[in-house]
Amino acid sequence: MTAQAANPMTPFARGPAHERLIVALDVPSTEEARALVNTLGDSVDFYKVGLELCMSGGYFELIEWLVGQGKKVFADLKFFDVPETVRSAVRGLRGRGVSFATVHGNQAIMEAAGAEKGDLRILAVTVLTSLDRGDLDDLGFQCDVEALVLSRARRALAAGCDGVISSGLEAPRLRAELGGRLLIVTPGIRPVENRPADDQKRTVDVAQAFANGADYIVIGRPIRNASDPRAAALEVQATIAKALAAR
């Protein structure tokens, strides 16, 4: 049985509308993360915990606390190392109540993650939303962004991954070529035009992300830095519900 055949999409893969918003807890400490979660209350059910919090200490205690609060967790650690190390890292993440985890690398790395995922959903990074055409030229990629994202998505599915991290700009091509066989999680959501200091380059707004085929979106600063984060989250939730109803 191939990795893809062993990995059918299940109802768990795409949650209810209220779970399609993933708020990024990109803050310096677990104390600040917990404070933001408490502020957002029942307006958000899904949280991303990434490298910044991993380096602050108390990462797994925070995950345990979030799961205990009834929240879903996306461990965005972008595993990228020799396959056996990635295999061991994914194995160590299983059984902690984490829903999504990211992997970043070649076919052997993605296959190692897919083989050890257990109850995790493994998402492969395609092209970071902080990169544009100029950045890819600097890295030596000669193909266009859309072609690169599609190629990586196909390889991720073949490796046993459940989905990809992709800009909303490339989501329509992924849906057209791959249909509903993979999850599309879209970061870099910006409700308004980017400011010059913003490090996200390939962005879309909430409604456009879902119209383009995203299953989940990840939002950090536009909610975290809002004058009323809970109200901002509820506004996003209303937009998501409307966008999903229109699909």
Question: Could you tell me the residue ranges of all domains in the chain?
Answer: 15-245
| pLDDT at residue 16 tops 90 | yes
| pLDDT at residue 25 tops 80 | yes
- The structure's pTM equals 0.86
Q: Which of 48, 78, 117, 242 is catalytic?
A: 78
Domain 15-245 has CATH 3.30.420.40: no
Instruction: Show the tokens assigned to 65.
Output: 């606390």
| pLDDT at residue 192 tops 70 | no
DSSP-assigned letter for residue 19: G
Residue 78 bears catalytic tag: yes
pLDDT for the residue 191: 61
pLDDT for the residue 109: 93
- The Cα 28–Cα 57 span in angstroms is 10
Name the pLDDT band for 149 (thresholds 50, 70, 90). confident
Write the DSSP string, 58-81.
-HHHHHHHHHHTT-EEEEEEEE-S
Mean pLDDT of the chain: 85
| pLDDT at residue 231 tops 60 | yes
Q: pLDDT of 52-108, one tens digit each? A: 999 999 999 999 999 999 999 999 999 999 999 999 999 999 999 999 999 987 899
Angle between helices 145-158 and 107-116 (to 10 degrees): 40
Q: pLDDT of 103-135, one tens digit each? A: 987 899 999 999 999 999 999 987 554 445 554
Which percentage of the chain shows pLDDT scores above 70? 81
